[in-house]
Amino acid sequence: MTRTAIVTGAGRGIGAATARRLAADGHAVAVLDLDAAHCADTVAAIADAGGTAIAVGADVSDASAVEAAVQRVVDELGAPTILVNNAGILRDNLLFKMTEDDWDAVMNVHLRGAFLMSRAVQAHQVAAGWGRIVNLSSTSALGNRGQANYSAAKAGMQGLTKTLAIELGRYGVTANAIAPGFIVTDMTRATAERIGVGFDDFVAHAAKEIPVARAGQPDDIAAAASFFCSEEAGFVSGQVLYVAGGPRA
User: Known catalytic residues?
Assistant: 150
Gap between the Cα atoms of 93 and 87, Å rounded: 20
Q: Give 194's Cβ-side CA count (13 Å radius).
A: 14
Q: Do the bridges between strand 28-33 and strand 53-57 make them parallel or antiparallel, or are there none, so unpaired?
A: parallel
Q: Specify whether the CB–CB gap between 178 and 243 falls below 8 A.
A: yes
Gap between the Cα atoms of 198 and 193, Å rounded: 7
